[in-house]
């Protein structure tokens, strides 16, 4: 029996993926499942079309496993070891499984040797958005006009910033932005960063590949998100258009999700009795 309480029916969403102006084909893959509230974006890497294969495998596997687990498992439990909600564990395990599948495919198919992919996901459940990522594809949140990056890049440049070799300002000018230190499919195992964030009504969340953030800085992105109007689809397309206008050196993918209304749980019988007695 499916046991779930979520806000997916109170989330507006839109997404766009574009080849850009330089690349010959698109190695990004995006996908969502409104029944579970899951949105996934992957940016593939590898020769020929291998990057496209890796990103598609990763997104489809993650969506499929989460959907299946949601239909069979009780979601209201909390993992004692990590303190994470059950949906967070499901998402993490789905990405770990996707890593194994991409890795096995890269080993068994000659034209896919060495392929890999970044991946970032957001899963809306109850009053939380669960973020999970591997690599340098990002999750942002616009709240009350302020833009925050909720993920930390798994990249050589970010490690250099963390260790004090670069300032944030110097990092923006660096030409070594795309050396990732973590990706799906490269090794038999991978570490997935996963976090739970409390959502608020009016929050706007954005998943994006580095094709966007290499072309536009956070200030430009924030301006577009704040001023592009009420259509999420138009907002996503404007981000793509601005990145292409700035050079479009890579594939560009954007997924937006707006919290229209917070979920109001229906009180249980015991909660109603306690409220009546108090």
Model pLDDT for residues 195-215, shown as the tens digit of each residue: 999 999 999 999 999 999 999
Q: Yes or no: is domain 8-277 CATH 3.30.70.890?
A: no
The tokens for 132 are 């999970």
- How is residue 186 annotated by DSSP? S
For residue 189, pLDDT over 80 is answered with: yes
Integer Cα distance of 102 and 140 in angstroms: 26
Quote the CA–CA distance of 112 and 103 in Å, as a whole number. Answer: 10
Q: What is the pLDDT of residues 67-84, one digit of tens each?
A: 999 999 999 999 888 899
CA distance 77 to 32: 24
What predicted TM-score, i.e. pTM, was given to this entire model?
A: 0.87
Q: Where are the domains of the chain?
A: 8-277
What is the SS3 assignment for 47? coil
């Amino acid at each position: 029996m499916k046991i779930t309480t979520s806000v997916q029916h109170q989330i507006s969403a839109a997404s766009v993926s574009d080849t850009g102006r330089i690349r010959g084909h698109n190695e990004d893959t995006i996908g969502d499942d409104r029944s579970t509230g899951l949105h996934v974006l992957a940016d593939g890497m590898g020769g020929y079309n291998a990057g496209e294969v890796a990103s598609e495998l990763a997104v489809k596997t993650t969506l499929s496993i989460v959907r299946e687990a949601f239909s069979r498992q009780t979601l209201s439990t909390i993992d004692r070891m990590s303190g994470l909600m059950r949906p967070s564990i499901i998402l993490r395990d789905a990405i770990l499984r996707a890593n194994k599948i991409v890795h096995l495919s890269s080993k068994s198919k000659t034209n896919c040797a060495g392929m890999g992919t970044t991946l970032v996901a957001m899963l809306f459940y109850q009053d939380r958005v669960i973020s999970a990522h591997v690599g340098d594809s990002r999750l942002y949140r616009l709240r009350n006009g302020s833009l925050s990056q909720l993920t930390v890049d798994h990249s050589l440049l970010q490690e250099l910033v963390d260790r004090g070799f670069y300032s944030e300002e110097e990092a923006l000018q660096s030409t070594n932005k795309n050396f990732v230190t973590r990706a799906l499919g490269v090794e038999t195992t991978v570490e997935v960063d996963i976090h739970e964030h409390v959502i608020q009504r009016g929050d706007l969340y954005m998943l994006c590949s580095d094709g966007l953030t290499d072309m536009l800085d956070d200030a430009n992105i924030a301006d577009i998100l704040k001023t592009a109007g009420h259509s999420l689809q138009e907002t996503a397309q404007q981000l793509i258009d601005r990145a292409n206008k700035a050079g479009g050196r890579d594939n560009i993918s954007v997924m937006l999700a707006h919290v229209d209304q917070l979920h109001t749980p229906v009180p249980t019988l015991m909660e109603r009795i306690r409220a009546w007695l108090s």
